[in-house]
């Protein structure tokens, strides 16, 4: 399989594994770990059902395949179709919607320019843009974008829903990290370059929120030092910590599924990176067999790759 398939399937599996344990208490999960893909009674979804993380991601990919570029109006329209019609979902219904993403889509429906739809206040820094930003990394890698182009694209795609700089820098860090993995770097080397990257386009206060990632070595921290909330800083720290501490795709997803709190998004982010590192064949077959719309996800991943390999487009 291609790295596109590896990352997109890795993302969806991590998402689906984490749906049933979302908002569960960490201590309970550590005592009674979830090791298989199970149904989620809380939201009435069968095993293998992925959440808004994957729905918004694949809506973005479908837009890219159709338009051959980042068309922000079309992306926003597709997200609204997801919200209002249940498109891009595993079972035809929406069951998990972030408040900030919902408000941004309402802004678009009310006639706001797509790039201005995202919320910019300090309290609107959930992980709703980070969870769906993977297509930017794949596109940027295939089209050999330079750092300036990567940052602009990452910032703009984040701003469709989350336009505060704390959210935008997290998306940029993730995108750069994924690109380095796609280039064949080890996770340790990719993390080294993440810490050495130039973040000077962001203000110092924003950068300081990520001091534990940039100035220190996050992998040296203990589990009790790691938060797994929906705050974008906590989510990015947690996903990267799990990735760096784990030795396989399965271990990565078991850890993210049982870390507590926002397990679907942490699993999606960690899973996308682990998918690139360990590959499609490393994903347990019993998880793949339960994943909803697996063939559809593989198909759009292949179409996405075929569309953008070595083809550079403008984004609008």
Cβ-based neighbours of 57, under 8 Å, separated by 6 or more: 8, 11, 131, 132, 134, 135
Cβ-based neighbours of 235, under 8 Å, separated by 6 or more: 127, 130, 131, 170, 228, 229, 262, 265, 266, 269
Query: So what's the pLDDT on residue 1?
Result: 57
Rounded to 10 deg, the angle between the 147-159 and 72-85 helix axes is 40
What does the chain come to in residues?
Answer: 316
- The per-type count for the chain, helices as H runs and strands as E runs, is 16, 0
Nearest alpha-carbon partner for 18 in 241, 253, 287 = 253
Specify whether the CB–CB gap between 243 and 259 falls below 8 A: no
State the Cα–Cα distance between residues 276 and 56, nearest whole angstrom: 20
DSSP code of residue 295: H
State the Cα–Cα distance between residues 70 and 61, nearest whole angstrom: 9
Q: Got the DSSP string for 191-211?
A: HHHHHHS--TTS-HHHHHTTH
Nearest alpha-carbon partner for 268 in 118, 97, 133 = 133
Neighbours of 91 (CB within 10 A): 15
Q: Got the DSSP string for 196-260?
A: HS--TTS-HHHHHTTHHHHTS-GGGS-GGG---SSBHHHHHHHHHHHHHH-SSHHHHHHHHHTS-
Query: So what's the pLDDT on residue 230?
Result: 97
Half-sphere exposure of 59 (CA within 13 A, CB side): 27
Specify whether the CB–CB gap between 313 and 143 falls below 8 A: yes
Specify whether the CB–CB gap between 200 and 169 falls below 8 A: no
Which tokens hold the place of 107?
């802004």
Query: pLDDT digit of tens for each residue in the chain (316 aa)?
Result: 599 999 999 999 999 999 999 999 999 999 999 999 999 988 999 999 999 999 999 999 999 999 999 999 999 999 999 999 999 999 999 988 899 999 999 999 999 999 999 999 999 999 999 999 999 999 999 999 999 999 999 999 999 999 999 999 999 999 999 999 999 999 999 999 999 999 999 999 999 999 999 999 999 999 999 999 999 999 999 999 999 999 999 999 999 999 999 999 999 999 999 999 999 999 999 999 999 999 999 999 999 999 987 544 333 3
Query: So what's the pLDDT on residue 96?
Result: 83
State the Cα–Cα distance between residues 176 and 172, nearest whole angstrom: 6
Cβ-based neighbours of 104, under 8 Å, separated by 6 or more: 76, 117, 118, 119, 160, 161, 162
What domains lie within the chain, and their CATH numbers? Answer: 3-35+42-308 (1.10.4080.10)
CA-to-CA dists, residue 90 to 58, 78, 79, 121, 308, angstroms: 11, 15, 15, 32, 25
CA–CA–CA angle 23, 132, 219 (5° rounding): 65
């Amino acid at each position: 399989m291609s790295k596109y398939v590896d990352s997109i399937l890795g993302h969806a599996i991590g998402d689906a594994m984490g749906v049933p344990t979302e908002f569960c208490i960490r201590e309970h999960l550590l005592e009674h770990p979830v090791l298989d893909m199970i149904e989620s009674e809380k939201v009435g979804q069968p095993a293998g059902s992925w959440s808004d993380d994957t729905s918004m991601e694949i809506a973005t990919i479908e837009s890219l395949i159709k338009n051959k570029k980042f068309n922000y109006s079309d992306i926003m329209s597709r997200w609204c179709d997801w919200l209002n019609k249940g498109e891009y979902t595993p079972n035809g219904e929406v069951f998990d919607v972030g408040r900030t993403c919902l408000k941004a889509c309402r802004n678009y429906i009310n006639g706001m320019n797509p790039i201005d739809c995202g919320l910019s206040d300090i309290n609107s820094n959930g992980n709703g843009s980070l969870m769906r930003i993977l297509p930017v990394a794949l596109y940027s890698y295939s089209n050999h974008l330079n750092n300036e182009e990567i940052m602009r694209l990452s910032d703009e795609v984040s701003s469709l829903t989350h336009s505060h700089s704390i959210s935008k820098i997290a998306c940029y860090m993730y995108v750069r990290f994924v690109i380095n993995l796609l280039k064949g770097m080890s996770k340790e080397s990719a993390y080294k370059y993440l810490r050495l990257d130039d973040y000077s386009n962001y203000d110092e206060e924003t950068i300081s929120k990520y001091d534990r990632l940039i100035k220190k070595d996050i992998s040296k921290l203990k589990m009790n030092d790691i938060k797994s909330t929906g705050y974008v800083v906590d989510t990015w720290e947690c996903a990267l910590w799990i990735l760096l501490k784990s030795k396989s795709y399965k271990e990565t997803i078991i850890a993210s599924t049982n870390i507590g709190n926002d397990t679907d998004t942490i699993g999606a982010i960690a899973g996308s990176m682990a998918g690139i590192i360990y590959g499609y064949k490393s994903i347990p077959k019993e998880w793949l067999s339960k994943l909803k719309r697996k063939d559809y996800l593989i198909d759009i991943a292949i179409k996405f790759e075929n569309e953008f390999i070595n083809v550079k487009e403008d984004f609008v």
